[in-house]
Chains A and B, each alone.
Chain A
């Protein structure tokens, strides 16, 4: 589903990604961990070209993402993204948030879009909050609306950038539950997060990144249980102490 090869990214003098190769199979859930500044978020943002890679190639669902002739706005509909800070549009209702791109990029009528949007909100358990504005929703609910906003476009892949880091602990569960259901429905997912419990139970593969490169990868049991690299061991020891 995703073939990313030799991705490099420079921010001025800073070399943030140093030749990352990443292949994700259909229906696979890849979980990315690593210390802050390791480049994991940048990698994720390259996968829908919110960041322009300095070099390398990315093919998603058979489409060359970096080809100048590719209509990036159409491709982005097939790649859902969920942000750490939700980024809901504060001037629109939950339903408005979900349906904007369905109407404007998908070209659906308002009635069609509303039906699709309500179905998406139903999937995240918030159909009854369709008319609420983001300010009237809890953080967990806002993040679920953000997930519905991506899901409504029927993406082939979903990218999650620390989706629970900005949430109070008691609100994390609801968001993870929605993500788990998405996975069970067969969605291909790349998740950057620190939720180890979720990774253990839901991930097919865990990738550990540091200093802009993939240091180690394998099944959750292998990476968490018996990490090979010293840096991986140190990092996992640290977060488990705090978990």
Chain B
């Protein structure tokens, strides 16, 4: 058998293309959910932290540190295989989603927080001296500046974590890699893996290119 027949077998590809496509849709849905919930909760935690309530801040820092230190794969495995012991058996999709969202939340909180604290005290003082309240100052003066500062590191981190959707295959989630792997074992031909690889590249190369563009567009003045 030639190399082409092995890795680019048209018949096998045609047979399993629908599976891979379904996997692609799962990956996209999962990635979108992770990004929205991860960034949302990360921002919420950073804002909560800006209230300056000591015990609460210690708790936030601990949670953030924990999810930065743990490999995402062990979080997925822990939730999927461990939580049933506590009476809740989340699906592969939910396990992967929750795990990656927690990881993105942790990294995003850290970045948002650094951005918030990078805004000089004078900005707060000027706004408060005109009668704006804490929330108004945060919303109209501090946050818009902080967000701009955080866009480049946040974009890169978000891309890196979103790629983790492939980890879902370890808990039998039929996203691209999962679908491709089972197709390989069913067909005893690696062409579905070729297809899966192509799907990942089609999905993520534009995202990485976007990340590069963002990095130059919002480059920090040194």
A interface with B by C-beta (< 8 Å)? 48, 50, 73-77, 79-81, 83, 85, 87-91, 100-101, 104-105, 146, 149-150, 153
**Do residues B131 and A73 form an inter-chain contact, with CB atoms below 8 A?**
yes
Report, nearest first, the 10 A-B pairs whose CB atoms are least far apart.
Answer: A87-B126, A101-B130, A87-B122, A81-B129, A77-B131, A105-B131, A76-B131, A73-B131, A91-B144, A104-B136
Taking CB atoms, residues of chain B closer than 8 Å to A100 are 127, 130, 132, 140-141
Asked whether any CB of chain A lies closer than 8 Å to the CB of B156, the reply is: no
Taking CB atoms, residues of chain B closer than 8 Å to A48 are 129
Residues A76 and B126 in contact in the complex (CB < 8 Å), given A90-B145, A91-B145: no
Q: How far is the CA of A230 from the CA of B125 in the complex (A)?
A: 36
Asked whether any CB of chain A lies closer than 8 Å to the CB of B197, the reply is: no
**Do residues A150 and B125 form an inter-chain contact, with CB atoms below 8 A?**
no
Taking CB atoms, residues of chain A closer than 8 Å to B148 are 91
Taking CB atoms, residues of chain B closer than 8 Å to A83 are 122, 125-126, 129
A89-B141, A90-B145, A91-B148 given; 16 more Cβ-contact pairs under 8 Å: A50-B129, A75-B131, A76-B128, A77-B131, A83-B125, A89-B126, A89-B145, A100-B127, A100-B130, A100-B140, A101-B130, A104-B140, A105-B130, A149-B126, A153-B130, A153-B131
Asked whether any CB of chain A lies closer than 8 Å to the CB of B18, the reply is: no
Shortest Cβ distance from residue A88 to the other chain B in the assembled complex, whole angstroms: 7
Of the candidates B120, B125, B130, B140, which one forms a contact with A77 in the assembled complex, judged by CB atoms under 8 Å apart?
B130
Shortest Cβ distance from residue A192 to the other chain B in the assembled complex, whole angstroms: 14
Taking CB atoms, residues of chain A closer than 8 Å to B145 are 89-91
Q: Please classify the interface of chain A as helix (H, G, I), strand (E, B), loop, or mixed, using the class held by over half of its residues.
A: mixed
**Do residues B130 and A149 form an inter-chain contact, with CB atoms below 8 A?**
yes
Proximity bits, B153-169, A CB within 8 Å = 1, else 0? 00000000000000000
**Do residues A76 and B122 form an inter-chain contact, with CB atoms below 8 A?**
no
Taking CB atoms, residues of chain B closer than 8 Å to A105 are 130-133, 136
B interface with A by C-beta (< 8 Å)? 120, 122-123, 125-133, 136, 140-141, 144-145, 148
**Do residues A150 and B130 form an inter-chain contact, with CB atoms below 8 A?**
yes
Q: How far is the CA of A83 from the CA of B144 in the complex (A)?
A: 21
Q: How far is the CA of A90 from the CA of B119 in the complex (A)?
A: 11
Shortest Cβ distance from residue A4 to the other chain B in the assembled complex, whole angstroms: 17
**Do residues B125 and A50 form an inter-chain contact, with CB atoms below 8 A?**
yes
Chain A residue at minimum C-beta to C-beta distance from B141: A89
Q: How far is the CA of A150 from the CA of B133 in the complex (A)?
A: 16
Residues A74 and B131 in contact in the complex (CB < 8 Å), given A91-B145, A100-B140, A100-B141: yes
Shortest Cβ distance from residue B1 to the other chain A in the assembled complex, whole angstroms: 61
Taking CB atoms, residues of chain A closer than 8 Å to B123 are 87, 89
Taking CB atoms, residues of chain B closer than 8 Å to A74 are 131
A-B contact pairs, 13 of them (CB 8 A): A73-B132, A77-B130, A80-B129, A81-B125, A83-B125, A85-B122, A89-B141, A90-B145, A91-B145, A100-B141, A101-B132, A105-B133, A149-B130
**Do residues B126 and A88 form an inter-chain contact, with CB atoms below 8 A?**
yes
Q: How far is the CA of A48 from the CA of B131 in the complex (A)?
A: 10
Taking CB atoms, residues of chain B closer than 8 Å to A75 are 131
**Do residues B122 and A101 form an inter-chain contact, with CB atoms below 8 A?**
no
Chain B residue at minimum C-beta to C-beta distance from A146: B126
Q: How far is the CA of A101 from the CA of B136 in the complex (A)?
A: 9
Taking CB atoms, residues of chain B closer than 8 Å to A80 are 129-130
Q: How far is the CA of A127 from the CA of B140 in the complex (A)?
A: 23
**Do residues A101 and B125 form an inter-chain contact, with CB atoms below 8 A?**
no
Taking CB atoms, residues of chain A closer than 8 Å to B136 are 104-105
Chain B residue at minimum C-beta to C-beta distance from A73: B131
Chain A residue at minimum C-beta to C-beta distance from B129: A81
Chain A residue at minimum C-beta to C-beta distance from B134: A73
Taking CB atoms, residues of chain B closer than 8 Å to A87 are 120, 122-123, 125-126
